[in-house]
Structure 1
Amino acid sequence: MKSIVYNMGYFLKEAKTLFKIDLTSNILSILSIGLIFFILALVISGWDIMSFIVETVEREAEINVYYKEGLSDTEISKLLEDIRSVEGVGDVKIVDEEESYLRMKDILGDEAHILELFEENPFSPFIEVQINIAESDVILSKLKQVENIEYIRDNKRVLDRLNDIVSVIEFVGILVVVAVGISTLMVVSHIIRQGIYNNRDQINTLKLLGAPQPFIDFPFILEGFFLTLIGGLIASILLFVLLNYGYGQVELAIPFIPLPAADSLIRSIVTFTLVTSAILGIIGSLLGVAKQGEGFRG
Structure 2
Amino acid sequence: MKTFLYNIGYFFKETGRIIRLNILSNIFSIIGTGLILFLLGLVITGSDIGNHLVNMLNEEAEINGYFTKDISDSDRNELVEKIGKIYGVRSARLVNEDEAKKKMEDILGEEAKILELFKENPFEAFVEIRINVDEMENILDNVKNMKGIEYVRDNREVLEKIKDITYAFKVLGYLLIAAVGITTLIILSHMIRQGIYNNREQINTLRLLGSPGAFIGFPYVLTGILLTLLGGILAALSVVLLINTAYEGIGSTVLFLPLPSKNDLIDKMIILIPSLSFILGLMGSLFGLSSIRKK
Q: Same fold, TM exceeding 0.5? A: yes
Matched residue, 2:289: 289
User: 1:10 and 1:101, CA in 2 relative to 1: closer, same or farther beyond 3 A?
Assistant: farther
Bigger mean CA offset, 40-49 vs 88-97: 88-97
Equivalent residue for 1:274?
274
Q: What does residue 91 of structure 1 align with?
A: 93
Q: Is the 8 A contact 1:97 1:121 kept in 2?
A: no
Is the partner of 1:131 in helix, strand or coil? strand
User: Equivalent residue of 2:292, what SS?
Assistant: coil
Question: Residue 188 of structure 1 aligns with which residue?
Answer: 188
- Once residues 229 and 7 of structure 2 are traced to their aligned partners in structure 1, the CA distance between those partners, rounded to angstroms, is 22
Question: What TM-score comes out, normalization by structure 1 length?
Answer: 0.72
Letter in 2 for 1:84: V
* Equivalences for residues 55-94 of structure 1 within 5 A: 55-63=55-63, 81=77, 84=80, 87=83, 88=86, 90-93=92-95
**Cα drift, residue 220 of structure 1:** 0.8
Normalised to the residue count of structure 2, the TM-score between the two structures is 0.72
Equivalent-residue separation in structure 2 for 1:81 and 1:139 (angstroms): 17
What is the aligned counterpart of 1:137 among 132, 140, 144? 140
- Counterpart amino acid of 2:189? S
Residues 251, 146 of structure 1: CA spacing in aligned structure 2 closer, same or farther, 3 A cutoff?
Answer: farther
1:61 and 1:171, CA in 2 relative to 1: closer, same or farther beyond 3 A? closer
TM-superposition CA deviations, 1:1-60 (whole Å, max 9, x none): 332222222212221221122122111111221121222222233333333433444345
Instruction: Specify the code of the residue in structure 2 equivalent to 1:255.
Output: F
Q: Distance in 2 between matches of 1:130 and 1:272?
A: 38
2-structure distance, mates of 1:239, 1:290: 33
Number of aligned residue pairs: 274
- 1:223: how far off? 0.7
Go from structure 1 to structure 2 and tell me whether the alpha carbon gap of 1:15 and 1:158 turns closer, same or farther (over 3 Å shift). farther
Aligned twin of 1:205: 205
* Residues 99-148 of structure 1, C-alpha deviations (whole Å, 9 max, x = no match): 7777x79xxxxxxxxx67x695889988682433335423663699757x
> 2: CA distance between counterparts of 1:24 and 1:121?
75
Compared with structure 1, are the counterparts of its residues 63 and 245 closer, same or farther at alpha carbon in structure 2 (3 Å cutoff)? Answer: farther
Counterpart for residue 119 of structure 2 = none
Which residue of structure 1 lines up, in the alignment, with residue 232 of structure 2? 232
Whole-Å separation in 1 of the counterparts to 2:102 and 2:22: 71
Q: Which moved more, 1:260-269 or 1:243-252?
A: 243-252
Pairs within 5 Å for 1:218-229 = 218-229=218-229
Q: Taking every aligned residue pair, what percent have the same amino acid on both sides?
A: 36
- Distance (Å, rounded) in 1 between the aligned partners of 2:166 and 2:81: 34
Task: Say what the alpha-carbon RMSD is for the aligned residues.
Answer: 3.9
